[in-house]
Amino acid sequence: MDSILVKGNGALNGVIPIAGAKNACLTLMPATLLSEEPLTLTNAPRLSDIATMTQLLQSLGAEVASLQEGKVLALASHGAINHVADYDIVRKMRASNLVLGPLLAREGHAIVSLPGGCAIGARPMDLHIHGLEAMGAEIELKDGYLHAKAKGGKLRGAELTLRMASVGATENILMAATLAKGTTVINNAAREPEIVDLAQCLRKMGAQIEGEGTSRIEIQGVDRLGGATHQVVTDRIELGTYMLAPAICGGEVELLGGRMNLVAAFAEKLDEAGVSVTETANGLKVSRKNGRLKAVDVTTEPFPGFPTDLQAQMMALLCTAEGTSVLEEKIFENRFMHAPELLRMGAQIEVHGGHATVHGVEKLRGARVMATDLRASVSLILAGLAAEGETVVSRVYHLDRGYERVEEKFRGIGAHIERISA
């Protein structure tokens, strides 16, 4: 298994282009199942999660061609569609469950493996299931697979309220509702930019949707959807991650394609900690203000709150801030697995349930550490860039799921980072 070697070597300066959003692309791709006509996605990120979704869609009978070195995905689902999403592919990635809504809407039935348990918590699918049941689906769990069937062969519109503003459940129900008979209203819908991006693409395909980006989305079902070309929205998590590089190490970095409205709550916390973030014509510019970083308290929340997917990286920053910070994780129950690894680098962190208390130290020291999930991996790289000496992060296959050309991008701003192939 590959590992990443990082050496802290001072301030970072330069420009980093930010890719299209992994989480938007992973929900836009299955939207192809809703139409017989081609769907073209531009600004797609080159990631192993995208390769997994490609493999899943191909196993269902969709065509997926990767063009321009993977930056453009040409999708089409005009032939016969297989309605069984197999465990061997689904288990690799929870987002595979996003084929359930589109398959059910198109075929009237679907058999989709339940994604396996995930390292960052239980992540059940009850909200997806209840939402689709409210729309007339009958869903049973048999042998680890969800067997779903639309009563009368077609989903019906319904008004439903999500117990939690789940991103995946909102996406699955939204996609299913575009072809349902009648009107669907999703109350307490998730408001993430990736959902807005999905709704905009579906609208180009002919869907009738109102209210995306608010907690009430209304969808008027139509008989069929057509083709579209759509540019994937900027990855706000990749953006936030690289914003932390100059924040932690000093220097000034411009993130091309970044927009403040994608990371407002995060940028506000950075400002409080002593980091300046300004909008430029092409993106966002980030630099450290004078003096040592200051401790700040952070609570993760659904969008527009502070994103759970930036919590691990923010913790890396707070490890060397002056004072005591409290991080509260409200989205996932087991998302502090990076804390024991940061301790190996000299950080002072106590975890109690959903809270982590970080006492800032002057300096971290390089160490051998292990990546436990996607965002934890990159938090260890960030910590390594700020540490004295060498840090080796092992199990970095997680990184390739969510960060394209990660070493190249960090090297582009002067970081000392290399991949060691096993």
Note whether 64 and 102 are within 8 A (CB).
no
Number of residues that bind ligand UD1 (CB under 6 A): 23
166 touches ligand UD1 by CB under 6 A: yes
121 touches ligand UD1 by CB under 6 A: yes
Give the x/- contact pattern for ligand UD1 in 25-44, rule: CB under 6 A. -x------------------
124 touches ligand UD1 by CB under 6 A: yes
Instruction: Quote the least distance from Cβ 420 to ligand UD1, whole Å.
Output: 27
Identity of the residue, 52 or 320, whose beta carbon is nearer to ligand UD1 in the bound complex = 52
Name the nearest CA neighbour of 360 among 287, 294, 290.
Answer: 294
Identity of the residue, 64 or 146, whose beta carbon is nearer to ligand UD1 in the bound complex = 146
Note whether 380 and 319 are within 8 A (CB).
no
Identity of the residue, 331 or 370, whose beta carbon is nearer to ligand UD1 in the bound complex = 331
Instruction: Quote the least distance from Cβ 346 to ligand UD1, whole Å.
Output: 28
310 touches ligand UD1 by CB under 6 A: no
198 touches ligand UD1 by CB under 6 A: no
Identity of the residue, 246 or 303, whose beta carbon is nearer to ligand UD1 in the bound complex = 303
Instruction: Quote the least distance from Cβ 376 to ligand UD1, whole Å.
Output: 12
Note whether 278 and 285 are within 8 A (CB).
yes
Which residue carries 């550490």 as its tokens? 369
Q: Compute the Cα dihedral for 17, 23, 29, 35 and give only its sign.
A: negative
Among the candidate windows 5-13, 55-63, 152-160, 166-174, which touches ligand UD1 by CB under 6 A?
166-174
Distance CA 333, CA 310 (A): 15
Confirm whether 201 is a catalytic residue: no
User: Which tokens is 142 given?
Assistant: 């048999």
Distance CA 169, CA 302 (A): 13
Residue 73, SS3 per DSSP: strand
Q: Which alpha helices (DSSP H) does 205-336 contain, by range?
A: 236-249, 264-273, 311-318
Distance CA 290, CA 395 (A): 36
Give the x/- contact pattern for ligand UD1 in 69-108, rule: CB under 6 A. -------------------------xx-------------
Identity of the residue, 221 or 307, whose beta carbon is nearer to ligand UD1 in the bound complex = 307
396 touches ligand UD1 by CB under 6 A: no
List strands edge to edge, sheet with 183-187: 159-161, 183-187, 216-220, 208-210
| Residue 16 backbone phi and psi in degrees, to 5 | -130, 125
Q: Residue 252: beta bridge partners?
A: 13, 287
338 touches ligand UD1 by CB under 6 A: no
Please pick, among 25, 118, 249, 319, the residue that the annotation labels catalytic: 118
Identity of the residue, 102 or 246, whose beta carbon is nearer to ligand UD1 in the bound complex = 102
Helical pair 311-318 and 264-273, crossing angle rounded to 10 deg: 10
Distance CA 260, CA 241 (A): 14
Neighbouring residues of 336: CB distance < 8 A, sequence distance ≥ 6: 315, 329, 351, 356
167 touches ligand UD1 by CB under 6 A: yes
Find the binding residues for ligand UD1 in span 342-361 (CB under 6 A).
none
Instruction: Quote the least distance from Cβ 222 to ligand UD1, whole Å.
Output: 25
Region for residue 250 given its phi and psi (left: phi exceeds 0; alpha: psi -120 to 50; beta: otherwise):
left
- CA angle in degrees (0–180, nearest 5) for 318-399-366: 45
Identity of the residue, 109 or 330, whose beta carbon is nearer to ligand UD1 in the bound complex = 330
241 touches ligand UD1 by CB under 6 A: no
Identity of the residue, 20 or 360, whose beta carbon is nearer to ligand UD1 in the bound complex = 20
Instruction: Quote the least distance from Cβ 165 to ligand UD1, whole Å.
Output: 7
Instruction: Quote the least distance from Cβ 45 to ligand UD1, whole Å.
Output: 12
Among 128, 236, 288, 398, binds ligand UD1 (CB under 6 A): 128
**H-helix or E-strand containing 98?**
none
Among the candidate windows 116-124, 244-252, 263-271, 359-367, which touches ligand UD1 by CB under 6 A?
116-124
Instruction: Quote the least distance from Cβ 239 to ligand UD1, whole Å.
Output: 14
164 touches ligand UD1 by CB under 6 A: yes
Q: Where are the beta strands (DSSP E) in 78-135?
A: 84-85, 109-113
Residue with smallest beta-carbon separation from ligand UD1? 168
Active site residues: 118
Q: Contact residues for ligand UD1 (CB under 6 A)?
A: 23, 26, 94-95, 121-128, 164, 166-169, 190, 194, 308-309, 331-332
